[in-house]
């Protein structure tokens, strides 16, 4: 990882750039009527979204590695060894989680240095780290399913813009209450909006078990669907291999 | 036996050949083109959707976010297209085709102009695509009329030109496709630190100062003026000057960096 | 008037590595000059310097009468280059590449069209001219590469390992092409190769390069003769054996041979063979079988470097 800065540097750089730019460009947006949190800075508002964005950008790595293993048939060698089948999947998911944790910690620390204010203090920060890492794993499981299905790094990488689309058409950078028409409707039903809103509740209003459980619940639901699909694809690949 | 052919307008023909080759590759490898069209379209949809209400703040001068964001998306698309000439060159350097070009008796300036010409031609496509989406589906308005559209195309072409010169310089230094990532980061940063998404009046803190002196801000204002009202010389002049200076500066930069790849 | 290719103490270092170490070259007009050496001997580096693609660290070179450093443009106008990794855009067709090359060299449109068609025919790619290069076989690519380097009728043609990776048939076809060019148009050809046979077959004069230095230079036959006299082996009827042996002893020192066969090192070189046969005939000795074994270029290489070129390479 240390030797390949191009694989993780952008996923730290872009969230920080966006956070820096948006917090000064839209600093007055909190004064708009209907803005849900009129008393906070715009940086505090987008903080959870920027952390999530950074972590999701990084979530492709684990799936890309897996696709790479399939491409250069390292996977075949692994399957012919007595490595237990589920551990192949578990290792990838765990790596996505740990990687997310690592990124979230760095991003939160940087935001803290630049004056972000976490209303809930340490519990909120820990909750944010946990939720984003779990989300990284959940989204990672979908990408891993794609990697297992196609075995192509190129295909996995081409899904990257899709993540960007999901983040943008959500409450990540602006409250959905202030969006209009069909765009606002899509954003409202984007599951990422729910995750972000509840997480934002934790960082802006202070730690609350209700918000935490709701956020973890929805992310877990996403993860369960993703992991189920991934297991299905792994079984298919195993069946094809034997 | 020496055949030193002298054709009238050799430089022009060489430039034309480079543009033609680039466009032909794009036709045959659509995956090259897709991101440069899809990304700016997504930008205009997402920015005007997400920040629909932000135009109510002071300084935007319009009541529709799409009027504000179309120019921003067009110029982002143009900047992306600016990567085109650099991308083609990086590929050529990596697979050795560039050596073939170098063994031909052509002037480096002509080669650079040809590559930038290709980027410029590319830029016209996403610009048109964004305008179509903005006006047909998002309800954009152009009180500035025809002149406003001309301003959009002029700024997009200028943006593609100097971004392309800049990227070519980076590619000549690093001689690899990977270096395009570096170029992209610099490109994006300079674009975001401008009045691209918000007017100076709305920007607070350090970014206000940076956006004010960022020459790209002038180009963006020139591009955007027709969406907000009449096209005026007051808004056009600083944009044109900034654009020409950026083109001249990056052209010199690219020419200097070219020494890294040729004797 | 300078020779088409001249180099004086031409050197190139990459960091600590001395890739080319002060080579001197002089290739005459109309000559096919072979640059023979193993992988990594500095052949490509030398070619890249001579074709203005790489700056020499020290020394000078003139190609087609112009200095490669100070008048690179003039050199480029007069040379054709086919580089080792046939660098061809796989998305373009053969025709398009030829057209691009014509434009780069400033050939008028009408003339270019005729010339491209002609060249495609010469290298046998007329039918494939409108296909993308990506679909070409290795041999077709090399042939297209050759055509591309000839578009502007260069005075000097550089071929960097033109047949590496080609099957024997394609190799021979390319050799014929190069020979034809040299004989019919008089193009000076500078070719690098790691194949002994290629140097032997094509080049009128060769230089053997090893670790950046030229270790031998001359025509293949002269070089081979320098290594030692060729071996002449003769079979005669048993009754004539002793008489034949005595006769042949005048022409060279006896060499080991299997039973019933006479072998000598032919002092007069290859040409001496007729004299020996004449002498045998004069003595009414009937010759049943004759074999002449020349030292190979590999022997020359071994003599110069203490290593063998063949064997390391599956040529």
Per-residue pLDDT of C257-297, as tens digits, reads 888 888 888 888 778 888 899 999 898 888 889 988 878 88
The first and second tokens of residue C180, run together, are 């034809």
CB-based contact (8 Å) between C306 and chain B? no
The tally of domains found in chain A comes to: 1
| Inside any domain, residue A119 | yes
Mean per-residue pLDDT, C67-94: 87
CB-based contact (8 Å) between A10 and chain B? yes
The first and second tokens of residue C81, run together, are 């280059």
| Inside any domain, residue A191 | yes
Question: What's the confidence (pLDDT) of residue A32?
Answer: 85
Q: Where are the beta strands (DSSP E) in chain C?
A: 5-14, 17-27, 32-36, 58-63, 66-67, 79-82, 156-160, 188-193, 205-210, 213-218, 231-236, 254-255, 261-265, 287-293
Residue of B nearest to C148 (CA): B100
CB-neighbour burial class of residue C3 (10 A; exposed 0-12, middle 13-18, buried 19+): middle
Q: At A16, is the secondary structure helix, strand, or coil?
A: helix
Question: What's the confidence (pLDDT) of residue B2?
Answer: 42
Q: Is the pLDDT of residue C118 over 60?
A: yes
Contacts of residue A165, Cβ cutoff 8 Å, sequence gap at least 6: B42, B46
Mean per-residue pLDDT, C199-217: 91
pLDDT digits (tens, 9 = 90+) for A37-74: 888 888 888 888 888 888 887 787 788 888 888 877 77
| Inside any domain, residue A8 | no
Q: Which residues on adjacent β-strands are paired with residue C190?
A: C33, C158
Question: What's the confidence (pLDDT) of residue C315?
Answer: 34
CB-based contact (8 Å) between B208 and chain A? yes
Whole-model pTM: value is 0.83
Confidence of residue B3 (pLDDT cuts 50, 70, 90): very low
Q: Is the pLDDT of residue C157 over 60?
A: yes
Confidence of residue C5 (pLDDT cuts 50, 70, 90): very high
Question: What's the confidence (pLDDT) of residue C143?
Answer: 87
Q: Is the pLDDT of residue C50 over 70?
A: yes
pLDDT digits (tens, 9 = 90+) for B55-89: 888 888 888 999 999 999 999 999 989 988 888 89
Confidence of residue C28 (pLDDT cuts 50, 70, 90): very high
Mean per-residue pLDDT, B178-195: 88
Mean per-residue pLDDT, A187-210: 89
On average, the pLDDT of chain B sits at 90
CB-based contact (8 Å) between C72 and chain B? yes
Give start and end residues of each alpha helix (H) in C38-193.
43-50, 72-78, 94-104, 109-122, 138-150, 168-180
Residue of B nearest to C82 (CA): B100
CA angle C266, C268, C274 (to 5 degrees): 80
The domain in which residue A236 lies consists of: 40-241
- The A residues from 38 to 57 touching B (CB cutoff 8 Å) are none
Q: Using alpha carbons, select from B152, B141, B81 the residue that is nearest to residue B117.
A: B81
Q: Is the pLDDT of residue C181 over 60?
A: yes
Mean per-residue pLDDT, C91-115: 91
Q: Touch between chain C and chain B (3+ CB pairs, < 8 Å)?
A: yes
Mean per-residue pLDDT, C196-223: 90
On average, the pLDDT of chain C sits at 88
- Dihedral sign for Cα A83, A89, A92, A95, please: negative
Distance linking the first and last C-alpha atoms of chain B:
27
Q: Is the pLDDT of residue A188 over 80?
A: yes
Residue B96: left if φ>0, alpha if ψ -120 to 50, beta else—which one? left
| Inside any domain, residue A54 | yes
Q: Is the pLDDT of residue C131 over 90?
A: yes
Mean per-residue pLDDT, B133-161: 95
Question: Is the separation of the CB atoms in A60 and A156 below 8 Å?
Answer: yes
Mean per-residue pLDDT, B204-209: 88
| Inside any domain, residue A172 | yes
Give start and end residues of each alpha helix (H) in B1-64.
10-28, 30-50
Q: Using alpha carbons, select from A61, A174, A52 the residue that is nearest to residue A107.
A: A52
What is the DSSP pairing of strand C261-265 with strand C254-255? antiparallel
Chain length of chain B: 263
Question: What's the confidence (pLDDT) of residue C313?
Answer: 41
Query: Cα dist. A171→A27, A216, A233 in Å?
Result: 16, 17, 32
Question: What's the confidence (pLDDT) of residue A242?
Answer: 61
Question: What's the confidence (pLDDT) of residue A2?
Answer: 53
Q: At B3, is the secondary structure helix, strand, or coil?
A: coil
Question: What's the confidence (pLDDT) of residue C310?
Answer: 65
Cβ distance of B49 and A32 shorter than 8 Å: no
Mean per-residue pLDDT, A117-121: 79
Confidence of residue A182 (pLDDT cuts 50, 70, 90): confident
Residues of C in contact with B92 (CB under 8 A): 89
Question: What's the confidence (pLDDT) of residue C312?
Answer: 46
């Amino acid at each position: 990882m240390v030797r390949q800065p191009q694989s993780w540097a952008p996923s730290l750089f872009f969230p920080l750039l966006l956070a820096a730019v948006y917090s000064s460009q839209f600093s007055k947006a909190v004064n708009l009527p209907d803005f849900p949190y009129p008393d906070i800075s715009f940086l505090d508002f987008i903080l959870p979204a920027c952390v999530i964005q950074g972590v999701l950008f990084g979530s492709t790595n684990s799936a890309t590695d897996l696709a790479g293993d399939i491409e250069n048939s390292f996977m075949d060698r692994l399957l012919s060894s007595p490595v237990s089948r589920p551990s192949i999947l578990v290792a990838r998911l765990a790596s996505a989680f740990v990687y997310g944790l690592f990124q979230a910690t760095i991003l939160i620390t940087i935001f803290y240095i630049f004056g972000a204010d976490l209303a809930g203090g340490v519990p909120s920060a820990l909750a944010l780290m946990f939720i984003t890492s779990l989300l990284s794993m959940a989204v990672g499981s979908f990408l891993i399913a794609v990697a297992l299905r196609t075995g192509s790094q190129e295909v996995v990488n081409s899904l990257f813009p899709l993540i960007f689309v999901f983040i943008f058409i959500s409450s990540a950078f602006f409250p959905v209450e202030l969006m209009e028409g069909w765009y606002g409707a899509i954003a409202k039903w984007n599951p990422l909006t729910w995750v972000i809103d509840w997480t934002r509740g934790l960082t802006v209003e202070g730690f609350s078990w209700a918000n935490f459980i709701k956020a973890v619940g929805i992310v877990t639901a996403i993860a369960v669907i993703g992991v189920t699909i991934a297991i299905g694809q792994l079984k298919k690949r195993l069946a094809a291999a034997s | 036996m020496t055949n030193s052919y002298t054709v009238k307008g050799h430089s022009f023909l060489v430039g034309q050949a480079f543009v033609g080759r680039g466009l032909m590759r794009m036709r045959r490898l659509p995956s090259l083109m897709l991101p440069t069209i899809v990304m700016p379209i997504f930008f205009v949809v997402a920015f005007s959707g997400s920040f629909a209400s932000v135009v109510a703040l002071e300084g935007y001068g319009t009541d529709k976010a799409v009027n504000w964001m179309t120019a921003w998306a067009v110029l982002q698309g143009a900047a992306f297209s600016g990567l085109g000439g650099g991308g083609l060159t990086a590929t050529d350097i990596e697979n050795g085709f560039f050596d073939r070009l170098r063994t031909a008796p052509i002037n480096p300036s002509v080669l650079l102009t040809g590559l930038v010409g290709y980027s410029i031609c590319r830029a016209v496509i996403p610009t048109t695509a964004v305008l179509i989406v903005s006006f047909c589906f998002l309800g954009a308005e152009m009180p500035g009329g025809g002149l406003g559209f001309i301003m959009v195309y002029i700024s997009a072409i200028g943006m593609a030109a100097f971004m392309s010169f800049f990227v070519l310089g980076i590619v000549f230094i690093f001689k690899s496709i990977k270096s395009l990532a570096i170029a992209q980061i610099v490109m994006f940063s300079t674009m975001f630190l401008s009045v691209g998404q918000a007017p100076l009046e709305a920007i607070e803190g350090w970014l206000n100062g940076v956006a004010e002196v960022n020459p790209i801000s002038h180009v963006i204002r020139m591009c955007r003026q027709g969406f907000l009202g009449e096209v005026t010389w007051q808004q056009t002049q600083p944009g044109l000057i900034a654009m020409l200076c950026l083109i001249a500066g990056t052209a010199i930069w690219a020419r200097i960096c070219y020494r890294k790849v040729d004797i | 008037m300078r020779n088409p290719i001249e180099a004086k103490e031409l050197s190139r270092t990459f960091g600590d590595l001395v890739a080319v170490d002060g080579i001197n070259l002089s290739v005459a007009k109309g000559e096919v000059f072979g640059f023979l050496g193993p992988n990594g001997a500095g052949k490509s580096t030398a070619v890249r310097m001579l074709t203005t693609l790489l700056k020499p660290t020290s020394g000078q070179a003139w190609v087609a009468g112009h200095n490669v450093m100070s008048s690179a443009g003039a050199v480029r106008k007069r040379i054709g280059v086919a580089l080792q990794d046939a660098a061809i855009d796989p998305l373009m067709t053969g025709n398009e590449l030829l057209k691009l090359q014509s434009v780069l060299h400033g050939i008028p449109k009408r003339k270019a069209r005729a010339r491209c068609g002609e060249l495609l025919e010469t290298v046998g790619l007329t039918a494939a001219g409108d296909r993308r290069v990506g679909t070409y076989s290795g041999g077709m690519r090399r042939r297209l590469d050759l055509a591309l380097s000839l578009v502007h009728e260069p005075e000097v043609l550089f071929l960097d390992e033109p047949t590496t990776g080609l099957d024997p048939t394609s190799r021979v076809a390319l050799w014929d092409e190069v020979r034809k060019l040299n004989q019919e148009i008089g193009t000076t050809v500078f070719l690098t190769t790691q194949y002994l046979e290629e140097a032997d077959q094509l080049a009128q004069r060769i230089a053997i390069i090893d670790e950046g230095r030229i270790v031998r230079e001359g025509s293949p036959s002269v070089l081979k003769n320098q290594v030692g006299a060729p071996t002449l082996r003769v079979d005669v009827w048993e009754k004539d054996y002793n008489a034949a042996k005595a006769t042949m002893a005048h022409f060279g020192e006896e060499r080991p041979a299997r039973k019933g066969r006479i072998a000598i090192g032919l002092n007069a070189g290859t040409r001496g063979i007729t004299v020996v046969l004449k002498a045998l005939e004069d003595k009414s000795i009937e010759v049943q079988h004759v074999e002449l074994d020349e030292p190979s270029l590999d022997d020359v290489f071994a003599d110069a470097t203490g290593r063998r070129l063949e064997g390391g390479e599956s040529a």
